[in-house]
A and B are shown apart, each in its own frame.
Chain A
């Protein structure tokens, strides 16, 4: 040291290289080095370039009483050769925050007054990063200041995970206030300040982005006269958004990805806003239906008038014209009145139904529309026939429109085509779209069922209100949820279903085979269906709980001979373009519907006697129950209720796994499931299953690649005894692949590639076919590990 002091040359590189490790001081002590916003002149810039204060280990103590942050030296930054210096407008800003651990060297050697930062030591996920700045330095603390907004890309969606707190050097002496605690409350549960960020942990922004709902696309009324599917989808989307928002009160991951920025009041405001939107959309959809009904009724009435024109002399016809005008006006006014009343009544209905419909939004909307139609038709029949009776004075007989109810939806046929050779305009087969998952088939509803329900209701309305004026016309929506056996309660989540849709075809059904890793690996076709178009038939993997994502299937449409010997065009199988991930191979105890997981397996569920559900509560929340409430607790646990306030009730035992009707008032804390007392597939009435064995039957070429040569081999991982041989064209592209051995016992989607010294980029996708397994095969010693269990979902989930 003395030697260096005596012979110091004050020239960088000649006085040795002294490097150091330190920590960036709180930004309040250095941020004003730069203005923080673009200013007009240099006079407003206090510092020289990018600098910050740094506390250097071994040179400065951790104790801020001894050296305060304001007294620390300014450190300059060293930039990499890729960053530029600013010359020729080439530059890259430093990315340094308070609390960063950095290392560097002193430009002035042992004087240690001119530190230069060369690099940073990044945080990892295990390092406990204090949310606030601890009194004692040299422990990790957050780069966010107390007033900063944390990036959604840094917010965790799961709070768990191990972290390692740094305790720092222990002293036997008493600490001063400024030394303080070496550790403060870490921010790790909520915030990821590791160098890998969202590369390694799920962040709120990514989760939110993956929750995009599909949207219904409107079609011309010639293509979809009754837009049931659109109304259903809008309602379904709204219900799911409301349920997510309600759940965000109890569920952290839904809270960080939710749209609520305020408190509990905001939740209610959000729900009201969403409901109003749904009311508007439902009313919009029903208005389209009204338009069709109005067209039909007007046609019917005017047609019945024609029968009367003949009986009048030409000089009497102006009077009849006035009467017909009046009736037409009446019809128009009636529909105006209906539409006015509709918004109010649908609003009341949806507000009541929002906490009752967990599943089956389609069925509910069908009932709502049938109910509305029935009541309108009944009311119109009565009003119109009353009005027509007034014409008797003119023509001496009563005109009667009797068939409005009978032909309630004769509207479908449009009369505009006068030319026998005129073709109907083509309609799009895509009427639902998601920016993430693409096209889906939008249900057009069961029109026949709807018409029958409407007819019955119309007849009822007409007979009950005969002769009674209903000037305000209030729709009765009280019975819609119970009108038909709509399964609107939460359903056990299970394997997904395969849907096939397009311009034609019906009846194709199959059970998807799901691997234990949650991939779609095959299908067992139960029925090929009939009438499918070979070009325009599409497939979709429908997960009623929305758990799995990303599976892409393409139906194979072929001719086959049915049991009656007729040639039919049906879906005989699928190509799996992407097996996806996250699908359930069997029910796991979670419940939901409408493509949303409403309750997790550990949640407690309460259904009230009026059919409404409380928000499912995770373990640890207080639940109040009253007689008649239906409770579902997680499996394997039993609780005993406590009395409610005032000492009412209590002492009732409720055990998990199935519905229990409560008989006494009580209070309990939602319990944690006890899986040690429970094993196997979650109990379900719909878990009929059968064993199957999968083998490799085909390999599809997605990308033929380039420059492969004869002798290159296809690698199948795991191969399960399967092998295949490729053939290449002159440019080394894969021309064809022959499966030489199918192997057996695939329980996951195999990875395929071509081992080659020369070729690149071929993408191959396996097609696994299914063998149903007889009981004799299962008895073989090596049989069990080759078997997959297929849940018979068709018609059940």
Chain B
């Protein structure tokens, strides 16, 4: 059982390329259909019919050259030009040696988790995050924080408006001896 066998594999092909029905791969998976390039070692499309859960009834498109999708020339405004959906599981886009570019008239990033651990959008970079626009709105329901281990600069070259229902401010000097009245900020910065 372990070594898959198929006595009915059918191949159509030339030196340039081939299509096979029932190909047994070298990692012991049966491809219902395999389409591949004869002049490249790693250029194929398979529709697999056995193997690990992600392989069985899965599709692999592998190409050393670019993989390109251009579609939607006739799609009306109310329909997507390209639709990609991971019905279950993650959608992973990687470019470990390149740049990920997303371009559109508008760009929406929506995280819709059902509990406190999910519904999170994380932007994590090891150098810099740059946000530039005519208008930047940061709007939260519960809490907004801007934090730096080093310096926070807030500059309004024309006007800087700061408003708080109650304003609480403290600097590091209050660490040893608190100000009159004290504040939550003081307490947090004494830690």
CB interface residues, B 167-191, toward A, < 8 Å:
171-173, 175-177, 188-189
The answer on a CB contact under 8 Å between A549 and B41 is: no
Q: Does B2 contact A (CB under 8 A)?
A: yes
Beyond the given pairs A205-B42, A426-B113, A550-B52, 15 more chain A to chain B contacts, judged by CB atoms under 8 angstroms and listed by A's residue number, are A151-B38, A198-B11, A208-B41, A209-B42, A212-B62, A257-B41, A306-B189, A310-B177, A419-B142, A423-B117, A425-B122, A435-B60, A550-B2, A550-B27, A579-B2
- Given A288, A309, A582, which contacts B172 in the complex, CB threshold below 8 Å? A309
Show the binding face of B for A, using Cβ within 8 Å: 1-3, 9, 11, 13-16, 18, 20, 23, 25-29, 36, 38-42, 44, 50-55, 60, 62, 90, 92, 94, 96-97, 113, 115-118, 120, 122, 124, 126-127, 142-143, 145, 147, 149-151, 171-173, 175-177, 188-189
The answer on a CB contact under 8 Å between B39 and A149 is: yes
Contacts of B122 in A (CB 8 A): 220, 222, 425
A150 in contact with B28 given A302-B150, A310-B175 (CB within 8 Å): no
- Given A206, A305, A426, which contacts B120 in the complex, CB threshold below 8 Å? A426
- Given A154, A196, A222, A310, which contacts B15 in the complex, CB threshold below 8 Å? A154
The answer on a CB contact under 8 Å between A306 and B117 is: no
A210 in contact with B25 given A95-B14, A198-B11, A309-B173 (CB within 8 Å): yes
Q: Does A332 contact B (CB under 8 A)?
A: yes
Question: A193-215 toward B: CB 8 Å interface, digit per residue (1/0)?
Answer: 00011110010111111101001
A217 in contact with B150 given A208-B41, A210-B25, A436-B27 (CB within 8 Å): no
Q: Which of A172-180, A291-299, A489-497 contacts B (4 or more CB under 8 A)?
A: A291-299
Contacts of A325 in B (CB 8 A): 151
Contacts of B20 in A (CB 8 A): 198-199
Report the bound CA distance from A436 to B31 in whole Å.
Answer: 12
A144 in contact with B188 given A436-B55, A552-B53 (CB within 8 Å): no
Chain B residue, CB-CB nearest to A329: B150
The answer on a CB contact under 8 Å between A549 and B13 is: no
Report the bound CA distance from A748 to B3 in whole Å.
Answer: 12
The answer on a CB contact under 8 Å between A581 and B26 is: no
Contacts of A578 in B (CB 8 A): 28, 50-52
The answer on a CB contact under 8 Å between B3 and A581 is: yes
Chain B residue, CB-CB nearest to A428: B90
Contacts of A217 in B (CB 8 A): 92, 94
The answer on a CB contact under 8 Å between B15 and A149 is: yes
A534 to chain B minimum Cβ distance, whole angstroms, is 18
Contacts of B25 in A (CB 8 A): 206, 209-210
Show the binding face of A for B, using Cβ within 8 Å: 95, 144, 148-154, 196-199, 202, 204-210, 212, 215, 217-218, 220-222, 257, 277, 281, 284, 287-288, 291, 294-295, 298-299, 302, 305-307, 309-310, 312, 317, 325, 328, 331-332, 415-416, 418-419, 422-426, 428, 430, 433, 435-439, 515, 517-519, 549-550, 552, 577-582, 748-751
Report the bound CA distance from A295 to B50 in whole Å.
Answer: 48
- Given B1, B15, B50, B124, which contacts A749 in the complex, CB threshold below 8 Å? B1
The answer on a CB contact under 8 Å between A199 and B143 is: no
The answer on a CB contact under 8 Å between B173 and A306 is: yes
A552 in contact with B2 given A148-B15, A206-B25 (CB within 8 Å): no
Contacts of B23 in A (CB 8 A): 198-199, 206
A133 to chain B minimum Cβ distance, whole angstroms, is 17
- Given B9, B26, B189, which contacts A206 in the complex, CB threshold below 8 Å? B26
Chain B residue, CB-CB nearest to A207: B26
The answer on a CB contact under 8 Å between B11 and A581 is: no
The answer on a CB contact under 8 Å between B27 and A298 is: no
Contacts of B118 in A (CB 8 A): 425-426
The answer on a CB contact under 8 Å between B54 and A517 is: no
Report the bound CA distance from A426 to B120 in whole Å.
Answer: 8
The answer on a CB contact under 8 Å between B26 and A202 is: yes
The answer on a CB contact under 8 Å between A581 and B143 is: no
The answer on a CB contact under 8 Å between A197 and B177 is: no
Report the bound CA distance from A153 to B11 in whole Å.
Answer: 11
Contacts of B18 in A (CB 8 A): 151, 153, 197
- Given B15, B60, B94, B147, which contacts A215 in the complex, CB threshold below 8 Å? B94
B110 to chain A minimum Cβ distance, whole angstroms, is 16
The answer on a CB contact under 8 Å between A306 and B172 is: yes
Query: Sorted from nearest, which 5 A-B pairs have the closest CB atoms?
Result: A151-B38, A306-B172, A210-B26, A309-B173, A423-B116
10 example contacts (A-B, Cβ-Cβ < 8 A) are as follows: A149-B15, A205-B41, A208-B42, A222-B124, A418-B145, A419-B143, A422-B116, A424-B117, A517-B3, A749-B2
A581 to chain B minimum Cβ distance, whole angstroms, is 4
Contacts of A419 in B (CB 8 A): 142-143
